[in-house]
Chain A
Amino acid sequence: METFLDYLKVFAVGGALCALGQVLINKTKMSSARILVLFMLLGLVLELAGAFGYMKEFASAGVTVPITGFGSTLAKGAMQGAKEGGVLGAMAGGLKAAAPGVTAAVLFGFLFALVFRSHSKKT
């Protein structure tokens, strides 16, 4: 029962973030890159303000799977790095924390682009 409730929270919060993104798509005609940057920055600012931790405690994957989680990871890594190594740590920490995700995207993107063919332009 408790697990079910956890997943319900993940579903509700994650779904709400995506619904908010859809409202932006419908209302503003912003490009997807802009919307993704906006959500990423939102996560980053929430982490900086110290609020993201509480949201994560409540909804875990509901806030970390959306791109807000990427922003939070960057900010968390940079702040952790800054604490340990000053400005140099701030410069290294963000990408270091986000590296697995970025690397995975580049790695799989490269490999799959060599193996598969595009499906989107079948005219």
Chain B
Amino acid sequence: MTDKAEYREYVKKNAPGSPMFRSVFAAFLVGGIICCIGEGVSDAIKAIFPDMGETDIGSWTTVVMIFLGSLLTAVGLYDRLGRFAGGGSMIPITGFANSVVSPALEYNREGVFFGVCAKMFVIAGPIIVFGVVAGVVAGVIGLFAG
């Protein structure tokens, strides 16, 4: 029998730990590419609608990126990308879309109400709640800071 410390050492040595360099490099590469696609979408919108304001261009870019992320999730490609890219596909806004669409599809069989609609916010819920609360705090701080 091996004791706990020995066992832990054994696990550490033999577990197929995610290779640090490879995964970080993959995240950097894919994340960078997704951001460049976002920049391309933004530039395209600017070229097609030259009169559009900066804020509107940003909002449209977000909507287009979320559409792309949702569609790729729906056809099953985004999760496959995620297995390779990890943080590279998670951190961009397309990953936010993925975090909404993926559970929505997954829990489809539990019905539209408590499956799709409720499970949609399993990951996005905390983001929106923290965002709303911190946003109000930021606004009020801004009010006093001038």
Contacts and interface: CB of A to CB of B under 8 A. Distances in A.
B70 A105 contact: yes
B104 A69 contact: no
Interface of B: 18, 20, 23-36, 38-39, 42, 55, 58-63, 65-67, 70-71, 73-76, 79, 85-88, 90-97, 99-102, 104-106, 108, 112, 116-117, 120, 122-124, 126-128, 130-132, 134-136, 138-143
Nearest 5 Cβ contacts at the A-B interface:
A18-B31, A14-B35, A90-B139, A15-B32, A119-B76
Nearest to A95: B132
Interface centre among B32, B42, B130 (most CB of A within 10 A): B32
A28 to B, nearest CB: 12
Contacts of A67: 91-93, 95-96, 127
A77 B135 contact: yes
Contact of A110 (B36, B59, B116, B127): B116
Contacts of B60: 100
Contacts of A44: 131, 134-135, 138
A89 to B, nearest CB: 7
A66 B92 contact: yes
B contacts with A: majority SS = helix
Interface of A: 6-7, 10-26, 32-37, 39-41, 44, 47-48, 60-62, 64-67, 69-71, 73-75, 77-79, 81-83, 86-87, 89-91, 93-95, 97-98, 100-102, 104-106, 108-110, 112-121
B36 A11 contact: yes
B18 A26 contact: yes
Given A14-B92, A39-B91, A61 B61 contact: yes
A105 B96 contact: yes
B32 A18 contact: yes
A40 B131 contact: yes
B31 A79 contact: no
B62 A101 contact: yes
Contact of A19 (B28, B93, B95, B104): B28
A112 B101 contact: yes
Given A10-B36, A110-B104, A112-B105, A64 B58 contact: yes
Contact of B108 (A25, A81, A113): A113
Given A18-B87, A33-B123, A67-B95, A108 B139 contact: no
